[in-house]
A = this chain, B = another copy of it.
Amino acid sequence: MKVCKFGGTSLASAQQIKKVANIITADTSRRIVVVSAPGKRFDTDIKITDHLISLADAALSGNDTSSGFRQIMERYEEIISGLGLESSLLNDIEEDLYNRLHSSRKDAGLFTDTLKASGEDASAKLVAAYLTATGLSAQYCNPKDAGLLLNDPPAYPQLLPEAYGRLAALKDNEAICVFPGFFGFTASGVLRTFNRGGSDITGAILAAAVKAELYENFTDVDSVFAANPRVVDQPVSISHMTYREMRELSYAGFAVLHDEALMPAFRAAVPVCIKNTNNPEAPGTMITAERDFSEQPVTGISADSGFSTLYVSKYLMNREIGFGRKLLQILEEEQISYEHAPSGIDDLSVIIRSHQLKPGQDARIVERVKTELAADDVHFRHDFSMVVLVGEGMRHTTGLTARAAAAIARTGANIEMINQGSSEVSLVFGILKHDETRVLRELYQEFFAPVYAEL
Contact = CB atoms under 8 A, between A and B. Distances in A.
A283 interface: no
A324 B336 CA distance: 12
Interface stretch (A24-32, A107-115, A166-174, A338-346): A338-346
19 contacts: A156-B319, A248-B345, A251-B345, A259-B345, A260-B316, A260-B319, A319-B337, A321-B332, A321-B336, A322-B328, A322-B332, A340-B343, A343-B419, A344-B419, A344-B422, A345-B423, A348-B422, A406-B406, A416-B421
A335 B316 contact: no
Given A260-B319, A263-B315, A325-B329, 13 more contacts: A319-B337, A324-B328, A324-B338, A324-B341, A325-B328, A341-B343, A344-B422, A344-B425, A347-B422, A349-B421, A398-B409, A401-B409, A416-B421
B345 A342 contact: no
A340 B127 CA distance: 54
B414 A398 contact: yes
Contact of A247 (B322, B345, B351, B426): B345
Nearest to A315: B263
Contacts of A156: 319
Nearest to A158: B316
A293 interface: no
Nearest to A401: B405
Interface in A393-451: 395, 398-399, 401-402, 405-406, 408-409, 412-423, 425-426, 430
A311 interface: yes
Contacts of A321: 332, 335-337
Contacts of A339: 318, 343
A406 B415 CA distance: 15
Interface in A151-195: 156
Nearest to A320: B337
Interface in A51-109: none
Contacts of A316: 260, 263
Contacts of A344: 248, 419, 422-423, 425-426
B401 A418 contact: yes
A248 B335 CA distance: 33
Residue of A263, A316, A337, A342 with highest tally of chain B CB at under 10 A: A342
Given A316-B260, A325-B329, A426-B344, A409 B420 contact: no
Nearest to A334: B321
A249 to B, nearest CB: 10
Contacts of A260: 316, 319
B399 A402 contact: no
A322 to B, nearest CB: 5
A422 B311 contact: yes
Given A311-B422, A328-B324, A328-B328, A406 B414 contact: no
Nearest to A408: B402
Contacts of A315: 263
A200 to B, nearest CB: 15
B419 A342 contact: yes
A43 to B, nearest CB: 32
Across chains A and B, which 3 residue pairs bring their CB atoms closest together, nearest first? A344-B423, A417-B421, A399-B409
A406 B417 contact: no
A420 B415 contact: yes
Given A325-B328, A338-B324, A346 B402 contact: no
Nearest to A388: B345
A416 B418 CA distance: 12
A412 B398 contact: yes
B417 A420 contact: yes
A351 B318 CA distance: 13
A201 to B, nearest CB: 13
A397 to B, nearest CB: 9
A416 B338 CA distance: 22
A248 B344 CA distance: 8
A156 B320 CA distance: 10
Interface string A297-329: 000000000000101000110111110110011
A435 B409 CA distance: 26
Contact of A420 (B251, B332, B402, B418): B418
